[in-house]
Structure 1
Amino acid sequence: MYKRILLPTDGSDASRRATLSAIDFARSIGAELVAMTATPEFHTLSTDSDMLEQTPEGYAQTSQARGQRLLDEVLAAARDAGVPCTGVQVASDEPYEAIIASARQHMCDLIVMASHGRRGIKGLLLGSETQKVLVHSAIPVLVHR
C-alpha cells in the first residue's frame, strides 16, 4: 500500500490534528513519514511585517527556526509513536507547489494534509492550499478535516 507519506504542516490546530491522524495511519500500515513545512521567500517589497522589519539573513534565520519548531513537534510525536519520520523545510511563495515538489522529490506515494474548512465566498477568495494540491497533484491526497 503506502510506504512513504508526505505530511505538510503549518502549525495550525487543523494541521496538528492531521499530524496525529497521519502518524496513527502510518503506524497502522507500516509507512514512514516525511514532515514538511514551507515558509515564504524574502521580498524587499512586502506587506508582511516580519519581512519589513528584518534583513534577508535575519528573516531566513527566523523562518528557519520557526519551521524547525514545527517540524520538531511532528518528529517528536512520530518518534513517540514509533513511526520513522524525517523533516524538510522549503522556502516557497507557493506552498502547494512546494508540497507537490517535496512529495515527488522524496518519492512519497501519499500526501496527508489538513483542510481548514473555509466555505463559501471566504474559501473561494482566500483560496486553499489543500484545494490547490488536490487539483494539481498526481499523487493521492488524503484530506483531514
Structure 2
Amino acid sequence: MFKRILIPTDGSSASQRAILAGASLARETGAEIIGLTVTPPFHTLSADPEVLESTPAQYEQQARQQAERILADVESAAREAQVPYRIEHASGDSPYEMIISTARDAGCDLILMASHGRKGIKGLLLGSETQKVLVHSAIPVLVYR
C-alpha cells in the first residue's frame, strides 16, 4: 500500500502520538519512515529569544541539537516497530513548504502528521502547518489527532 511515509514532527505530544501511529502503519504496510523536523533559519532581526541571545554558529548548533532530540523519537518508534527509517532536519521559514518539498523529493506516497486541534481565533491567528500542508500538497495527507 504505502512505500514511504513522511512523518513531520515538532516534538509536541500530538506529534509523539502521530509518530507512534505512523510507525504502526509502516509496520503493517511494509513502508519506510522518514522523520522530519523543520527549524527556522537564523535571522539578524528577530523577536525569538533564542536568536537574540545567539551568534549564528551558536544558533545553528542549538537548532541541530534540538532537532536531534526531536527526531530521536522517530528513530525509537521505527526501531521498536522494526521498520526502515531515516531522519531529516530542514531549515526554513515556511515549515509546510519544507514538509511538502521533502516528501516530494524523497518520493513519499503519504504524509502522516499531527494536528494540534486549534480552533476559532487561536487557530486563525496562529495558522496551522497541517492545514497548509493539506491545502498545498499533491501527496495524500493523513492527519492524526
Shared fold (TM-score, shorter chain, > 0.5): yes
1:132 maps onto 2:93 in alignment: no
Q: Distance in 2 between matches of 1:81 and 1:29?
A: 12
Gaps of 5+ in 1: none
Q: Would you identify which runs of 4 or more consecutive aligned residues in structure 1 move more than 4 Å?
A: none
Q: Which amino acid aligns with 1:137?
A: S
Aligned residue for 2:79? 79
Q: Distance in 1 between matches of 2:138 and 2:111?
A: 10
1:80, distance to aligned residue in structure 2 (A) = 1.5
Gaps of 5+ in 2: none
Aligned residue for 2:112? 112
Normalising to structure 1: TM-score of the pair? 0.98
1:144 maps onto 2:141 in alignment: no
Q: Distance in 2 between matches of 1:126 and 1:69?
A: 24
SS at match of 1:90: strand
1:122, distance to aligned residue in structure 2 (A) = 1.0
Cα deviation 1:26-54 (Å, max 9, x = unaligned): 10111110000000000010000000000
Q: Distance in 1 between matches of 2:17 and 2:73?
A: 12
Give the count of matched residue pairs: 145
Normalising to structure 2: TM-score of the pair? 0.98
1:103, distance to aligned residue in structure 2 (A) = 0.2
Aligned residue for 1:59? 59
Structure 1 vs Structure 2 CA RMSD: 0.6
Aligned residue for 2:17? 17
Aligned residue for 2:42? 42
Aligned residue for 1:31? 31
Q: Percent identity?
A: 60
SS at match of 2:113: strand
Q: Distance in 1 between matches of 2:40 and 2:82?
A: 31
SS at match of 2:142: strand
Cα deviation 1:102-138 (Å, max 9, x = unaligned): 0011110100000000011111111100000000000
Q: Which amino acid aligns with 2:73?
A: E
Q: Distance in 2 between matches of 1:103 and 1:33?
A: 11
Q: Which amino acid aligns with 2:6?
A: L
